[in-house]
Amino acid sequence: MEKINTLKMKGVTRRFGNTTALHDFHLEMSGGQFVTLLGPSGCGKSTALNCLAGLLDLSDGEILLNDRPIQDVAAEKRGFGMVFQNYALFPHLSVERNVGYGLELRRVPKAEREKRVRSALELVHLAEFGKRYPGQLSGGQQQRLAIARTVVLEPALLLLDEPLSNLDANLRNEMRIELKRIHSELNLTTVYVTHDQSEAMSLSDIVVVMRNGHIEQIGSPQEIYNQPKSPFVAHFMGYINRLPATILGKENGYWLIETANGTQLLGSSTNEETNWQPGQKVVALIRPDETIAEPQAETNRLIGHVQLVEYVGRAYESLVLLTGQGGTQLLAHSGRRQNSGDQIEISIDPDRLLLFSADETENIESTLMQSEPKVRVER
Ligand SMILES: Nc1ncnc2c1ncn2[C@@H]1O[C@H](COP(=O)(O)OP(=O)(O)OP(=O)(O)O)[C@@H](O)[C@H]1O
């Protein structure tokens, strides 16, 4: 198999009739990287993956493997391996035969085949299960078998389409760690598709956030999480609280804003070129887990009354009706259980109070069906 030094998708577009599932998609990765395509249902993640795999023809653009175009190379000649959501295992073949099947087709001699099957099963911790059948394995074991069956062929690129979506939450977390381990042991260039932001954050070197067939932002997990460039990315990363405000000016490198009841707060823009004038309408986006209930500091405070409290493990999440803010509610985290009706003070670090212009923040929910907050936040 040709080793990957660089893999580039340049201007890749794929149309289905009148629908453009993928539009002018640009992605560059280097050998060994773990790249995740992240976004809500229908944003074009699988289309991008299938174009890369060769399972879909491109309507436009090119794919370059080590600077050589491969968009016209048939899927089976690209030397890539794909793991599907439903695993696609052979139920009538033993675990060993499932893993060895691709090698048999390639007429790999028996001794070498057995050696490679053994080491693939060891890699996914299924060495003792070789004689079983897929039906006798748990969901997580079946998933690991699907991975072993693909990596035994030593693909240049591993493509994974929502591989954990059929597993329950505990197994998903376990398999996430397994995937990370397998990736670092093999140093195999990987493209992973998911709509789960925490999966993307924990696994990836590069995250590509997609929306409506476009790329919204590419960056490291830290960049995407801390510096979302658009309200869509911010919302997708859990910045679900919204607080309308007006720009007053700049202070100490932050933007000074005024909310509906005249409270002044400091906040940040993730876009260095932002040049707002006083009077500009903005919306502050805040993550519930980045609020500080009952703060020590005097600055950047909001006051409200607790309406609902939910235990979310390690913290309580309170729905707070802010005082004098036109009915705006905010989800806030607190180490101590609040009671319904309690007055509560909340502060937010100015670096974690992200400002976007008000017109940018319209209509983001319609494309975010899968990441709706548990409690709807009123505007
Ligand atoms: N074979 C097809 N024929 C027509 N439209 C298609 C086809 N495949 C995908 N689409 C459309 O292209 C868009 C992107 O689909 P795609 O499957 O790539 O999204 P996705 O982000 O992978 O979604 P999901 O997470 O639900 O799998 C959607 O609007 C979808 O309806």
Pair (270, 363) in one structural domain: yes
Pair (291, 322) in one structural domain: yes
* Domain limits for position 265: 232-371
Alpha-carbon distances, residue 316 vs 158, 210, 310, 336 (angstroms):
40, 32, 6, 7
Is 314 contained in some domain? yes
Mutate to test the pocket of ligand 1, among 47, 55, 166 (most ligand atoms within 8 A of CB): 47
Which residue lies with its CA nearest to atom 18 of ligand 1?
44
User: Could you tell me if the CB of 19 is within 6 A of ligand 1?
Assistant: yes
The one-letter amino acid at 81: G
Distance in Å, CA 369 to ligand 1 centroid: 15
Distance in Å, CA 19 to ligand 1 centroid: 9
Distance in Å, CA 42 to ligand 1 centroid: 5
Whole-model pTM: value is: 0.88
Provide the b/e sequence for 336-345 (b: ≥16 CB within 10 Å): eebeeeeebe
Pair (214, 319) in one structural domain: no
Question: How many other C-beta atoms are found inside a 10 Å radius of the C-beta of residue 79?
Answer: 18
Pair (87, 176) in one structural domain: yes
Domain holding 69: CATH number? Answer: 3.40.50.300
Please name every residue paired with 60 in a beta bridge, in sequence order, or none if there are none.
13
Alpha-carbon Rg for the chain, nearest whole angstrom, is 24
Is 376 contained in some domain? no
Split into its structural domains, the chain has a count of 2
Which residue in 173, 128, 147, 49 sits closest to 89, CA to CA?
Answer: 147
pLDDT by residue for the chain (379 residues), tens only, comes to 678 999 999 999 999 999 999 999 999 999 999 999 999 989 999 999 999 999 999 999 999 999 999 999 999 899 899 988 777 889 999 999 999 999 999 999 999 999 999 999 998 889 999 999 999 998 888 988 999 999 999 899 999 998 888 778 887 888 888 889 889 988 999 999 999 999 999 999 999 999 999 999 999 999 999 999 999 999 989 999 999 999 999 999 999 999 999 999 999 999 988 999 999 999 999 999 999 887 777 789 999 999 999 988 888 999 999 999 999 999 999 888 889 999 999 999 999 999 999 988 876 665 554 444 333 333 2
Is 1 contained in some domain? no
- Residues 143/86, Cβ–Cβ less than 8 Å: no
User: Could you tell me if the CB of 119 is within 6 A of ligand 1?
Assistant: no
CB burial class (10 A; 0-12, 13-18, 19+) of residue 274? middle
